[in-house]
Amino acid sequence: MREDLKLIGWGAVNSLEGANKFVVALVRKNIVYNSNHVKHIAENVLGLSYYEGSPQSQFLKKSQEKAFKLTDDNYLYNWSVKQTYITLENMITTTSF
């Protein structure tokens, strides 16, 4: 896997060669209130009944559209990238001590 990552992670070649462990962070695109992934998380991970008109889906829809103004694929993707950075930053902070 390291060799495959070197082809696409040109800035990480030295790190990949020297690290005994590494983390790959991925961003899922197009996550909206009625996407299959959101339904999967709600039902299979959280054990909630989830359908397009459920209180949970309507709360997520309102949050995305009104509070965060995530109204197109570009806004959604950029928001997801920022959320991934927050996760990575917290992981780095906790492993540095």
Residues 6+ apart with CB under 8 A from 38: 31, 32, 50, 57, 60
- Output the pTM of the full model: 0.71
pLDDT of residue 97: 62
The per-residue pLDDT string of the chain (97 residues; one tens digit each, 9 = 90 and over) reads 888 988 888 788 888 888 888 888 889 988 899 999 999 999 999 999 899 899 889 999 999 999 999 989 999 999 999 999 999 999 989 986 6
pLDDT of residue 17: 86
pLDDT of residue 15: 85
Between the two ends of the chain, the Cα-to-Cα distance in Å is: 28
Domain-by-domain residue ranges, the chain? Answer: 29-95
pLDDT of residue 2: 87
pLDDT of residue 60: 92
